[in-house]
Amino acid sequence: ADRAREVLESSGLPLNDLAKIWDLADAGDDGKLSLGEFLCAMSLSARRREGRQLPQSLPDELLPCTRLRVQDKVEMQRYLAMFQEQVPRGSAMPAAKAAEILQMSELPPSDLAQIWNLSGGTDNLDSLQFLHAMALTARRREGQSLPAALPADLL
| Span 127-154, pLDDT tens digits | 888 988 998 898 888 888 888 888 777 7
Residues 6+ apart with CB under 8 A from 141: 105, 107
Q: How far apart are CA 93 and CA 19, in angstroms?
A: 26
Backbone phi and psi for residue 48, each to the nearest 5 degrees, phi listed first: -65, -40
Give the pLDDT band of residue 77 (cuts 50, 70, 90): confident
Question: What does pTM read for this prediction?
Answer: 0.57
